[in-house]
């Protein structure tokens, strides 16, 4: 397979010299930073399993995955992948079937991901976290995704089965589902790793939490045992199936260009429900291949803290597949709190950490790292959101003062491009830049309103507009004949719109300015589109206007949504009535609404007489963004981690007393 974007797009004059057009997607000035021999290499034409094996021919004894001290070598990984293929085949999974996974970052998730692919089947990863404090609502969302994405089989963590699959067993049975495969986080733990896990809980969260964790494990085991006896579906334990199928065989699927291989999901970025992103073997392999020429500091044997989830392209492709392609050791972190990142760095001494900006901002004030030596770190990369130049400088100063020899690297990326599409380091690693397009990726710039291409003029060193992307990493964008990600053509090249507004200079270095749809990222990486929340709140008959804007939360080092509400003219409420009204809005429009995520609940509600307007009569969104928090807002707090959500608390303005919203 030739790389058409790199090898087929040059415009040469009759002397064989490149003729500049002024259009960056044609001139590709950034290629000067890359090795010409690398750019000439053919792209991989193989399955994702064959690609991992090809890149690790001599690395069989190196650790591929580490789980609380239990190391799995690359040779063992291949055996575990074959076990997964045998097991799935015995369950009836065939070429083209879709298996839906509700799984965290544990070794079995990697085994099953690649094992599914070996059969030619499709691994469909969805967010394993409950999306509502009402588990029945979360279960309904799982059913809608399962049915809507035409999955046939279900594999889930035991906790996910109990909370989000058991309530919909009857509905699943009506679709023809006969069984559900259940995996426990302890399945890959030997005695040593179980002790390591408990010790880590004690070190990170205290002795009492360790005791609670032990009790919770026993509780889930008992609940699973009881549920198995009364379940309407047959509940099958994955370790038992592997043992039963150890002498079975399976049919290895051949590589087919462009064939659907994976489905990942956005975090609700284009609709209140997560958007499926279909990916192929080629998408994953081309992404991994270009990281070898992108000047990324990824080396054989590097330890990688694996915290980004499988259901997101950044986790599945950028961390897992690319990491394994480089012969990295993925340290699996199934449950993660950003406040514990410093402790993890000290304990695991990783070379690579990839995550959102808030993770790294947390490090600066972490007492655990006050005198720590961070010389182990060789790649500290943030993505998923932009970072202020001052914050980036602050983190770099912190890293360097702790003996780290590298600065933050970053880029621009989307789920639709398998994650990272550009990368910033070295000569193109300016503060607050997104770097240059990756070697096998092409960026162009268009007018955000007219979608006409923008070019460099003789008197300009920089152009501004909406970025468009073309690459072999870009999702086909179609699932079951439904167009999920529209593609457009410019100069015989296939592009997608990013909706990201920014600048590009004549070297191809890009900087982010804003999102054309006002969307922003919460502190934890969850994407928020204000208009989605506004449409939900405006369904209440008392609401005349609603505009959602981001506000900065100091202790979270990131943003949360604030709802600015204007009530209908004939509606008047006292302060206490407004508190009760917010409680009702949250309960009726979010908690009990299966079409939205609990993480879309505004964390502050501000009632106002009117909205600020621009001179031409439009809502002055920038004025709302720049308003300070006064303390007169009504707050809403949601207990949540990366794998669970808890109770909701409504907080009156300027008061210590809280009201707890009942589940």
CATH value at residue 641? 3.30.300.30
Residue with the two structure tokens 């919203």: 661
551 and 502 in a common domain = no
**pLDDT exceeds cutoff 80 at 419:** yes
Specify whether the CB–CB gap between 245 and 87 falls below 8 A.
yes
Residues 583 and 618 in one domain: yes
Together in a domain, 100 and 242? yes
Residue 213 forms part of a structural domain: yes
Q: Does the pLDDT at position 50 exceed 90? A: yes
493, 541: one domain: no
Instruction: Give the pLDDT score at 268.
Output: 45
Domain of residue 134, residue span? 48-336
pLDDT in tens, 174-187: 999 999 999 998 88
Biggest alpha carbon distance in the chain? Answer: 79
Both 62 and 154 in one domain: the answer is yes
Considering the domain architecture, whether residues 552 and 608 belong to the same structural domain is answered as yes
pLDDT, tens only, 523-580: 877 778 888 899 899 899 999 889 999 998 887 778 899 999 999 888 999 999 999 9
- Please report the pLDDT score of residue 591 as a whole number: 84
Q: Do residues 51 and 288 make contact, with C-beta atoms less than 8 angstroms apart?
A: yes
pLDDT digits (tens, 9 = 90+) for 264-320: 998 643 345 789 999 999 999 999 999 999 989 999 999 999 999 999 999 999 999
Looking at residue 615, its pLDDT comes to 65
Report yes or no on 142 lying in a domain.
Answer: yes
Q: What is the mean pLDDT of residues 489-500?
A: 95
Name which of 199, 301, 276, 273 is nearest 476 in CA terms.
276
- In this prediction, residue 661 carries a pLDDT of 44
**Together in a domain, 492 and 530:** no
Q: What is the DSSP string of 567-634?
A: E-TT----HHHHHHHHHHHHIIIIIT-TTS-GGGS-SEEEE-S---B-TTSSB-HHHHHHPPP-S-SE
Q: What's the average model confidence in pLDDT over 471-477?
A: 97
Mean pLDDT of 468-489: 96
Q: Which of 84-88, 199-203, 648-652 has the lowest mean pLDDT?
A: 199-203
- Measured CA to CA, the distance from residue 550 to residue 619 in angstroms comes to 15
pLDDT in tens, 579-618: 999 999 998 898 888 778 888 899 999 999 988 876 666 6
Strands (DSSP E) along 126-283, which ranges?
Answer: 153-157, 179-183, 234-237, 260-265, 276-280
> Based on the domain organization, do 82 and 162 belong to the same domain?
yes
- Report which DSSP code applies to 453: B
Please identify, among 304, 321, 336, the residue that sits at the C-terminal boundary of a domain. Answer: 336
Alpha helices in 464-551 (DSSP H): 530-537
Report in angstroms the alpha-carbon separations of 551 from 281, 361, 520, 557.
40, 17, 10, 11
Which range is most confident: 195-209, 212-226, 299-313, 453-467? Answer: 299-313
Residue 344, both tokens = 């993890």
User: Domain boundary at 472, 500, 515, which?
Assistant: 515
If one compares 460 and 216, the residue with the highest pLDDT of the two is 460
Q: What is the average pLDDT across 120-129?
A: 94
Q: State which H helix or E strand residue 551 sits in.
A: strand 543-553
Same domain, 511 and 603: no
Q: Is residue 153 part of a domain?
A: yes
- List helix spans (H) across 149-188: 158-160, 169-174
The confidence band for 640, taking pLDDT boundaries of 50, 70 and 90, is low
Q: Structural domain tally of the chain?
A: 3
pLDDT value at position 13? 43
Please give the model's pTM, rounded to 2 decimal places. 0.83
Statement: residue 663 has pLDDT above 50: no
Verify that 329 and 197 share a domain, yes or no.
yes
Indicate whether 14 belongs to any domain: no
In a domain, 346, yes or no: no
CATH number of the domain that residue 489 is part of: 2.30.38.10
Least confident of 62-66, 88-92, 225-229, 275-279: 225-229
Residue at which a domain ends, from 336, 358, 374: 336
Question: Are residues 155 and 78 located together in one domain of the fold?
Answer: yes
* 289 and 188 housed in the same domain: yes
Digit-coded pLDDT (tens) for 371-412: 999 999 999 998 877 777 888 999 999 999 999 999 999 999
Q: For residue 29, is it within any domain? A: no
Mean pLDDT of the chain: 88
Q: Cα separation of 557 and 522, whole Å? A: 10
In a domain, 22, yes or no: no
The pLDDT confidence band at residue 192, using thresholds 50, 70 and 90, is confident
Residue 2 in any domain: the answer is no
What CATH number should be reported for the domain holding residue 233?
A: 3.40.50.12780
């Amino acid at each position: 397979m030739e790389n058409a974007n790199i090898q087929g797009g040059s415009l040469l004059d009759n002397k064989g010299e490149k003729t500049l057009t002024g259009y960056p997607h044609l001139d590709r000035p950034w290629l000067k930073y890359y090795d010409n021999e690398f750019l000439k290499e053919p792209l991989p034409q193989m399955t994702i399993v064959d690609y991992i094996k090809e890149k690790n021919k001599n690395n069989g004894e190196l650790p591929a995955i580490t789980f609380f001290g239990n190391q799995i070598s690359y040779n063992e990984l291949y055996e575990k992948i074959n076990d997964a293929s045998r097991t799935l085949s015995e369950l009836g999974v065939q070429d083209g079937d879709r298996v839906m996974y509700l799984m965290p970052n544990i070794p079995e998730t990697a085994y099953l991901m690649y094992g599914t692919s070996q059969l030619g089947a499709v691994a469909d990863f969805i967010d394993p976290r409950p999306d509502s404090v009402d588990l029945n609502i979360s279960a309904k969302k799982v059913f809608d995704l399962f049915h809507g994405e035409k999955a046939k089989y279900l594999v889930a963590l035991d906790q996910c089965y109990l909370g989000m699959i058991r309530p919909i067993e009857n509905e699943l049975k009506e679709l023809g589902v006969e069984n559900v495969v259940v995996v426990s986080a302890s399945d890959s733990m030997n005695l040593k790793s179980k002790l390591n896990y408990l010790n880590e809980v004690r070190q990170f969260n205290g002795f009492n939490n360790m005791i609670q964790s032990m009790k919770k494990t026993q509780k889930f085991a008992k609940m699973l045992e009881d549920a198995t006896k009364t379940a309407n579906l047959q509940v099958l334990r994955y370790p038992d199936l592997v043992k039963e199928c150890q002498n079975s065989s399976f049919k290895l699927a051949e590589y087919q260009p462009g064939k659907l291989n994976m489905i990942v999901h956005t975090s609700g970025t284009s609709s209140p429900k997560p958007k499926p992103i279909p990916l192929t073997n080629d998408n994953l392999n081309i992404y991994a291949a270009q990281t070898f020429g992108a000047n990324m500091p990824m080396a054989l044997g590097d330890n990688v803290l694996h915290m980004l989830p499988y259901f997101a392209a950044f986790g599945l492709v950028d961390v897992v597949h690319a990491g394994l392609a480089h012969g990295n050791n993925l340290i699996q972190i199934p449950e993660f709190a950003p406040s514990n990142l410093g402790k993890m760095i000290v304990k695991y001494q990783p070379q690579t950490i990839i995550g959102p900006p808030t993770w790294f901002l947390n490090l600066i004030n972490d007492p655990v790292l006050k005198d720590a030596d961070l010389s182990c770190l060789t790649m500290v990369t943030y993505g998923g959101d932009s970072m202020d130049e001052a914050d980036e400088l602050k983190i770099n100063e912190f890293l360097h003062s702790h003996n780290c020899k590298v600065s933050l690297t970053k880029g621009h990326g989307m789920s639709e491009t398998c994650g990272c599409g550009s990368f910033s380091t070295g000569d193109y690693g300016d503060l607050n830049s997104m770097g240059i397009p990756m070697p096998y990726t092409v960026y162009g710039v268009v007018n955000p309103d007219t979608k006409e291409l923008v070019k460099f003029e003789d008197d300009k060193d920089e152009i501004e507009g909406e970025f468009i992307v073309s690459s072999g990493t870009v999702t086909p964008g179609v699932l079951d004949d439904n167009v999920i990600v529209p593609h457009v053509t410019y100069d015989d090249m296939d592009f997608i719109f990013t909706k990201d507004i920014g600048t590009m200079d004549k070297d191809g270095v890009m900087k982010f300015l804003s999102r054309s749809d006002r969307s922003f990222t919460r502190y934890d990486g969850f994407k928020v589109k204000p208009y989605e929340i506004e449409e939900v709140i405006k369904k209440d008959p008392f609401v005349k206007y609603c505009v959602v804007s981001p506000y900065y939360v100091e202790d979270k080092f990131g943003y949360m949504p604030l709802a600015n509400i204007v009530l209908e003219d004939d509606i008047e409420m006292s302060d206490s009535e407004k508190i009760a009204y917010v409680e009702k809005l949250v309960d009726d429009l979010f908690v009990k609404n299966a079409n939205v995520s609990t993480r879309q609940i505004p964390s502050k509600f501000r009632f106002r007489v009117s909205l600020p307007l621009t001179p031409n009569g439009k809502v002055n969104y920038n004025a709302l963004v720049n308003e300070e928090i006064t303390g007169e807002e009504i707050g809403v707090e949601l207990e949540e981690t990366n794998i669970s959500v808890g109770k909701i608390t409504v907080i009156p303005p300027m008061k210590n007393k809280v009201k707890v919203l009942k589940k």
